[in-house]
Amino acid sequence: MSTSSEVIAHDWAFAVFIAGALGLCAFMLTAAHFLGGRARARTKNTPYESGIDAVGSARLRLSAKFYLVAMFFVIFDVEALYMFAWSVSIRESGWVGFIEAAIFIFVLLAGLFYLVRIGALDWTPQRSIPKKFRDAGRRQPRESDELTSVSDSGERAQPTPLHLER
C-alpha cells in the first residue's frame, strides 16, 4: 500500500472508533432513561445517609486557611513530581539538570521561608498566643516613622504616628 492510503486507513479506523464510542454512550444514556425508575416523591429526593436523616444545610463555611494549605500541598506535591523526573533522568541531564534542580529547590525553599515568615502556615489563633510572644516579631515605632504634613498656609501639622496600637 502507498503512504497516502495507509494514512487514510488509519484516519478511517480512528473515525470508526470515535463514532462507536459516541454511539455506545448515547445508547447507554437512552437505555437508562427508558429502563430507569419513575418514582417521584418528597422523601425520594431528600438525602439519606447511613440511616440518619439530614438535619440543616450541607453547606459548610470553612476557613480560608484550609484552602491555603491545599494550595501549598499542590505546589509542593508538584515539586516532588519534578524531583522524581530529574532523579530518573540524572545521567541524561548531567550537570545542567543538576543545576536546574538546585535552582528549582532553592526557589521553592525561598517561597516556603516566605510563607513561614508572613505566618501563612501559623494555625494558632492570635488570642491564644501570650502577648510577649505575639509582639516579639513586631518592631517598635520610632520617631522617624511619624508622618508630617504641610498645610496650605505653610505651617507644619502635628505628626501622625503610623503605628496603631491594638
Q: Look-up: residue for cell 488509519?
A: 10
Residue type, 82: Y
Which is higher by pLDDT, 12 or 58?
A: 12
- Return the C-alpha cell found at 105: 529547590
CATH 3.40.50.2300 fits 63-123, yes or no: no
Buried residues in 40-52 as b, exposed as e (16+ CB within 10 A): eeeeeeeeeeeee
Inter-axis angle of helices 90-118 and 64-88, nearest 10: 160
The sign one gets for the Cα dihedral 74, 80, 84, 85 is positive
Note the pLDDT tens digit of each residue in 62-120.
777 788 878 888 888 888 888 888 888 888 988 998 999 899 999 988 988 888 888 77
Q: Give the count of beta carbons closer than 10 Å to the beta carbon of residue 102.
A: 11
d(CA 124, CA 134): 11
Check residue 62 and give its pLDDT.
74
Nearest to 127 by CA among 84, 80, 81, 166: 166
Which is higher by pLDDT, 41 or 106?
A: 106
Check residue 132 and give its pLDDT.
58
Q: Which of 24-38, 75-89, 107-121, 145-159 is predicted with the least confidence, judged by mean pLDDT?
A: 145-159
Buried residues in 26-36 as b, exposed as e (16+ CB within 10 A): eeeeeeeeeee
Q: Indicate the pLDDT class of residue 166, thresholds 50, 70 and 90.
A: very low
d(CA 81, CA 91): 18
For the chain, domain boundaries: 63-123
Q: Indicate the pLDDT class of residue 134, thresholds 50, 70 and 90.
A: low
- Return the C-alpha cell found at 164: 496603631
Q: Rounded to a whole number, what is the distance in angstroms from the first to the last CA of the chain?
A: 84
